[in-house]
Amino acid sequence: MALAAVKSSTRFPDLSTVPAVDEVGVNERVARFQSRSIKKASKVEALKLVLSMIDLTTLEGQDTPGKVRQLCQKAIHLHAAMPGLPHVAAVCVYPTMVAVAKKALAGHDINIASVATAFPSGMSSLSVKLEDTRMAVDAGASEIDMVMSRGAFLAGDYHYVFDEIAAIKEACGAAHLKVILETGELGTLDRVRKASVLAMHAGANFIKTSTGKIQPAATMQVTLVMLQAIRDFYYETDRMIGMKPAGGISTAKLGVHYLVMLRETLGNAWMTPEWFRFGASSLANDVLMQLVKQSTGIYQSADYFSKD
């Protein structure tokens, strides 16, 4: 799928203008997104949209080329028994597995995302992170998921964080950059908002909640705060930034709740895989099970769906 090139404006933002987050308000708003009644035809369309937005992910120390090839097969053929399904947006792997994924996905319109920059902790020098990024890009990754330096951010060294993201963005070249804030380590919604602003100004194409290695991973609360930051950034600069909640979104129902939130916060323009992604591994099968349930009326079992 073609990703539109986005020009980055790398000017350090005035962080004193970042608004404070009303946590009670966020919780109430999130509760409301979860109470929308979505009826059958809309639900089927929503589920298909969720499928098309998934970054099918495997980020384990035990990943083997075989496992990655298997994941790519799953990405191409989600559920052969049900024709007419979309394929996922991308597969997301470690840099050393990018070449394997590229070969396995040859001829298919599925992007390859790679985590980089000393994922998941980000605790390494800038030169190592740049090398990591270049390696993934050279191997064929079209999207880079970098981790923000939480240590530096929490220490208040915002300029370091900003410069680092800008440098990685440059190393990405034509590849899209997703910046992982790792909201589970930031502690407060105010910091999530501040980190979002910092990442967007430094040149991120996407902002992403989590690595999936820290609990809590993506929650609707942090995602809403990040979506609001994207909205305000768009009003300010006319630039669209994508959003990727990742980790812990494993049920179709929750996936649809995220879409409701996306629709009601950013609007239709963001309702495509170009601007919204789910980082997930088990979500796809739950969505497939729901889609089969919708077409047959019979509740499904994971036993009859390929794992990955």
Partner 1 sequence: MASTAKRQRIAVAKTYKIYIDGKFPRTESGRYFTLEDKRGNVIANMCRSSRKDFRNSVVAARKAQANWAKASAYLRGQILYRIAEMLEGRREQFVTELVLQGAGRRAAENEVDTSIDRLIYFAGWTDKYQQIFSAVNPVSSSHFNFSVLEPTGVVSMLAPDNSSLLGLVSNLAPVIVGGNSCIVLASETKPLCAVSFAEVLQASDVPAGVVNILTGFRSELTEFFASHMDVNAIIYCDGGKQVATAVQEAAANNIKRVIDRTGINWSKPDAGHPYLIRDTQEVKTTWHPIGT
Q: Contact positions toward partner 1, by CB under 8 A?
A: 298-304
Report, in Å, the least distance between residue 284 CB and partner 1: 17
Cα separation, 7 vs 56, whole angstroms: 27
Residues in the chain: 308
CA atoms 194, 171, 125, 94: torsion sign: positive
Active-site pick, 55, 244, 286, 308: 244
**CB nearer to partner 1: pick between 215 and 301:** 301
Nearer to partner 1, 14 or 303 (CB): 303
Distances from the Cα of 185 to the Cα of 35, 182, 214, angstroms: 29, 6, 8
**3 state SS for 155-203:** CCCHHHHHHHHHHHHHHHCCCEEEEECCHHHCCCHHHHHHHHHHHHHHC
CB of 298 to partner 1, least distance (A): 5
Dihedral Cα 158, 193, 280, 26, nearest 10 deg:
160
The CB-of-223 to partner 1 minimum distance in angstroms stands at: 24
Please tell me the distance from the alpha carbon of residue 110 to that of residue 93, in angstroms, as a whole number.
Answer: 13
CB 301 to partner 1: min, Å:
3
Our answer to whether residue 244 is catalytic in this structure is yes
DSSP 182: -
Residue 129 appears among annotated catalytic residues: no
Nearest to partner 1 of 35, 127 (CB atom): 35
Q: Given the complex with partner 1, which of 12 and 304 has the nearer CB atom? A: 304
Q: What contacts 61, CB < 8 A, 6 or more positions away?
A: none
Question: How near is the Cβ of 251 to partner 1 at its closest, in Å?
Answer: 9
**Is 145 considered catalytic here?**
yes
DSSP type of residue 246: B
Residue at 96: amino acid letter = T
Torsion angles phi and psi, residue 75, rounded to 5: -60, -40
CB of 252 to partner 1, least distance (A): 12
Tell me how far apart the alpha carbons of residues 100 and 179 are, in angstroms, rounded to a whole number: 24
**Cβ pair 115, 92 in contact under 8 A:** yes
Alpha carbons 166 and 105: distance in angstroms, whole number: 30
Which is the catalytic residue, given 55, 132, 145, 286? 145
Q: Which is nearer to partner 1, 17 or 35 (CB)?
A: 35
Catalytic residue positions, numbered: 145, 208, 244
